Amino acid sequence: MKQLSILGEEIKSWDTLQKQIQDTLELASLGDESFQEELEREVKTIRKKVESCEFKAMLSGEYDAGGALLAIHAGAGGNDAQDWAEMLQRMYLRWMEAHSFKAKILHITQGEEAGVKSVTISVDGPYAYGYLQAEKGVHRLVRISPFDSNNRRHTSFALVEILPQVKDDTEIDINPNDLRIDTFRAAGAGGQSVQKNDTAVRITHVPTGIVAQCQNERSQTQNREIAMRVLHARLLAVKREQRKEKIEELRGEYQKAEWGSQIRSYVLHPYQMVKDHRTNHEEGNANAVLDGYLDPFIAAYLRSNVGK
């Protein structure tokens, strides 16, 4: 029913666009110059809708239409890296808000002095995973460090992990005997935000060492259920990646991805620029990008992957 609803909305949007184009053509055929301004407005609206439809047409992967799990992990570098991870968290939350996605922080580990060590966010809405898959990889920041008393330039790294939200998937069969489940008290800023019972849950898949945790729900049962969803998604991602690597290895094109192979660089000093190294797309206004202006990068990535 969910898939039917998504397809129904997609067909409706195409039908509406087609009718709008027909109405605009009929208005233009009248040749009345008094309609010129109205026609120009309609053409701009149609162009935006066509671009949006074209964008969605590129999202045809198995999980593209569904929700996503976004995780950010600070790299080596202490306060600078943890502050960069928090900047990325803010950037993605701004982008989600602008696109009416429902975002919920499932788990966060704060830095000792600044920023965050890691954060996991649930993103719900049509095509959330399809859009956000463009963000998977290492993100690099170059700036004057606010934590350096000598005002030196520092380079920081953070890893962004994008996983599809899957509730029922026959590809992954998790043996309960392979799980180690730990409970602990949720950390918080104090007051009512701190649970007095061990409600937070950490689940470790012993054979792979993959960990999933959740602390933001009120009950241990809810946190456990969400942590299992995160674990399921991570195990599925590993299986898909292994399958992809095996295919590429057979083709003779396999290259191992290393931590330092950043997908995008954000330069704030000595000049401002954000560059995606996969598509070579650049934006000169780095502050706008850090405020959530990610659509040009996402579009460039999706276009570069059409037909692959």
Q: Does one domain contain both 50 and 188?
A: no
- Confidence at residue 169, expressed as pLDDT on a 0 to 100 scale: 59
> Of all residues in the chain, what percent carry a pLDDT higher than 70?
89
pTM assigned to the model: 0.75
Q: Does one domain contain both 277 and 143?
A: yes
Q: Does one domain contain both 151 and 13?
A: no
Q: Does one domain contain both 11 and 92?
A: no
Continuous segment of H or E residues that includes residue 288 = helix 286-290
- Report whether 167 contacts 83 (CB < 8 A): no
257 belongs to a structural domain: no
**pLDDT: which is higher, 161 or 167:** 161
184 belongs to a structural domain: yes
Q: Does one domain contain both 38 and 187?
A: no
Least confident of 161-175, 194-208, 237-251: 237-251
Range of the domain at 35: 2-57
Q: For residue 74, how many other CB atoms are within 10 A of its CB?
A: 26
Quote the strand ranges of the chain, DSSP E. Answer: 68-74, 102-110, 116-124, 137-144, 153-164, 179-184, 200-205, 210-214, 264-267, 273-276, 282-283
Q: Does one domain contain both 47 and 83?
A: no
Distance of CA 306 to the CA centre of its chain: 19
Q: Does one domain contain both 96 and 132?
A: yes
- Confidence at residue 251, expressed as pLDDT on a 0 to 100 scale: 44
Domain at 183, CATH number: 3.30.160.20
- Confidence at residue 168, expressed as pLDDT on a 0 to 100 scale: 59
Q: Does one domain contain both 243 and 279?
A: no
Domain total of the chain: 3
Q: Does one domain contain both 281 and 143?
A: yes
Q: Does one domain contain both 147 and 181?
A: no
Confidence class for position 133, pLDDT limits 50, 70, 90: very high
